[in-house]
Amino acid sequence: MSPPTQDPKRLRRRRIEAGLNKKELAMAAGIHPSYVTWLERGDRGASPRVLKRLSKALQCEIADLMPPEPNEDEEAGAV
């Protein structure tokens, strides 16, 4: 099992905002519906190719599906 590369919560939120169910997203991205479930649960990581397909189907950037960057201020200990 590969670690998730995408942010499962962001992927799910984008899918819902797009008004798609898992099967519709899978069809639009050319992947199996079960794979969408695994991605949204964080059980599997999406390859760059799959991320590109998902972002196209969801009409967003690949970065919109990735985990957020840590805030530099929080890393330095400043709030």
pTM to 2 decimal places: 0.82
Can you tell me the mean pLDDT for 51-79? 82
Q: What percent of the chain has pLDDT over 90?
A: 78
Q: What's the CATH number for 8-63?
A: 1.10.260.40
- Provide the residue ranges of all domains of the chain, joining segments of one domain with +: 8-63
Name, in order, each residue with C-beta under 8 angstroms of 29's C-beta and a sequence gap of 6 or more.
36, 50, 53, 54, 56, 57
Q: For residue 32, what are its two tokens?
A: 């199996």
User: Does residue 75 have a pLDDT over 60?
Assistant: no
